[in-house]
Amino acid sequence: MSSPNIISMPIPPVPPHATCGEVYERFHTEPDLVAIPVVTGDKPVGLLKRIDFLIKLADRYGRPLYEKRPVAELMDSSPLIIEHTVTVDQLNKTLVGENKDSLQAGFIVVEDGVYVGIGTAYTLLKVNMQRAEQRMRDLDVARMEAEAATRTRTQFLANMSHELRTPLNAIIGFADFILSENARGRDIRNHQTYISDIRDSGSHLLGMINSILDLSKLEASAFVLREDYEAPREIVEQVVRMMEGMAKARGITLKHTSDTHNFDLFGDIQVIKQVLINLISNAIKFSPEGSTVVVNEQIDPWGRIAFCVGDSGPGMAPDVLKRVMQPFVQADTGLARKHDGTGLGLPLVKAFVDAHGGEFILKSKVGDGTDAKVVFPRERCIEHNTAQYAVI
């Protein structure tokens, strides 16, 4: 976790045969020098501690006595030696324990036994301050992420209030009207439109609730795939038929192209259909009237089955593209939202595709539409003439 440049300073060493006089002058010319390592070749053999060394040479008899002698006679031959890979926490623990003196007098840092530098109270304080500053930055990031999550969920609840109340009011209003008509003895057989509206509103509520429940299962790792075999073309054709009503109501043309003949997809078919429903409904909602949404399935160059949905809508800026992949976030937010929804569609697509071991790719450019692509692993692409249909 720590590097030698952080926990030590590269103090030039001296050999054991260097004279005490030379080192004495060096200590005097470098007042900030805490210690000088004694090295043979590139291996540390001792440490000259500033205070101990100067005390011995400060006496009027000390300097004449030791000045011309080798430093080996005055060095600490058993200094604290620390490997450069030691963590800061381990180093703190070591220096607080039996090696308290080494914090003040200095310790040697090595890399695989080779001298690297001298560690001191200053270098340790510096690295601990850097750690504290990094923790503060991490806390700031965590706080901002938490605040962003809170804002997102608050916005989601505000949107859900509208999404739930609107169909509920319709259900209650139409049901009350039919009941009141029946209580007055009037014929209610001609109120099929109201009954249809109640059904549609209930289906809308059920879809939103199912999305929330699906996301909860995925987050709790309680989601289980119910896998089977189905032709990709059949899957897309079924979904396109389901979505044609929504497309026609908005003046959108759905175009389906296929390039997956003689192949089956092994996966949870209902979940895969939900993936396509989410992608196609998004494309329809955000496409201008009179435009075309293209749905295509193909075998990519790596033999994987890929579903592609492209629209010519307004597109998204890079920051919006990143945000819409987060749960409860919508491309258009605020009280004047143009499109309904929970903001769970794309996160669910990604989660469902991830559960199959696949890949979800979303590309968009402002003014140039959006292209969504889901790719399933090669092992889920089964050729008709080689498929071995196992009993699951």
pLDDT digits (tens, 9 = 90+) for 96-137: 777 778 878 889 999 999 999 998 888 888 888 888 898 999
Specify the pLDDT at position 333. Answer: 41
User: 150 and 58, same structural domain?
Assistant: no
Domain assignment present for residue 125? The answer is: no
Q: Which of 368, 373, 366, 374 is nearest to 320 (CA)?
A: 366
Q: At 200, which CATH number?
A: 1.10.287.130
The amino acid at 391 = V
Specify the pLDDT at position 48. Answer: 93
Domain assignment present for residue 358? The answer is: yes
At what angle are helices 192-219 and 345-355 packed, to 10 degrees? 50
- E strands of the chain, at which residues? 35-40, 43-49, 81-83, 107-111, 114-119, 228-230, 253-259, 263-267, 292-299, 305-311, 359-364, 370-375, 381-383
Residues of the domain holding 17:
4-119
Domain assignment present for residue 269? The answer is: yes
From 201, 219, 237, the end of a domain falls on 219
Domain assignment present for residue 390? The answer is: no
Domain assignment present for residue 55? The answer is: yes
Specify the pLDDT at position 122. Answer: 84
User: 379 and 237, same structural domain?
Assistant: yes
Query: What residues form DSSP beta bridges with 108?
Result: 81, 118
User: 365 and 234, same structural domain?
Assistant: yes
**Three-state DSSP class for residue 203:** helix
Q: At 353, which CATH number?
A: 3.30.565.10
Query: What residues form DSSP beta bridges with 217?
Result: none
User: 238 and 214, same structural domain?
Assistant: no
User: 276 and 253, same structural domain?
Assistant: yes
User: 157 and 294, same structural domain?
Assistant: no
Specify the pLDDT at position 55. Answer: 87
Domain assignment present for residue 45? The answer is: yes
- d(CA 157, CA 177) in angstroms, rounded, equals 29
Q: Report, as ranges of residue numbers, the positions in the chain whose pLDDT lies below 50.
A: 1-5, 333-339, 386-392
User: 315 and 355, same structural domain?
Assistant: yes
Specify the pLDDT at position 107. Answer: 92
User: 322 and 277, same structural domain?
Assistant: yes
Domain assignment present for residue 89? The answer is: yes
Specify the pLDDT at position 190. Answer: 63
Residue 178 and residue 191 in contact, taking contact as beta carbons nearer than 8 Å: yes
Specify the pLDDT at position 85. Answer: 86
User: 96 and 177, same structural domain?
Assistant: no
User: 322 and 196, same structural domain?
Assistant: no
Domain assignment present for residue 128? The answer is: no
Q: At 69, which CATH number?
A: 3.10.580.10
Specify the pLDDT at position 264. Answer: 92
Alpha-carbon separation of residue 392 from 228, 268, 381 (angstroms): 8, 12, 17
Specify the pLDDT at position 336. Answer: 35
Per-residue b or e along 355-384, where b marks 16 or more CB atoms closer than 10 Å to that residue's CB: ebebebebebeeeebbbbbbbbbeebbbee
User: 235 and 95, same structural domain?
Assistant: no
Which tens digits make up the pLDDT trace of 167-197?
676 677 777 777 777 667 666 666 667 677 6
User: 177 and 43, same structural domain?
Assistant: no
From 219, 247, 280, the end of a domain falls on 219
Torsion, Cα 284 286 291 292, to 10 degrees, reads: -40
- Domain total of the chain: 3
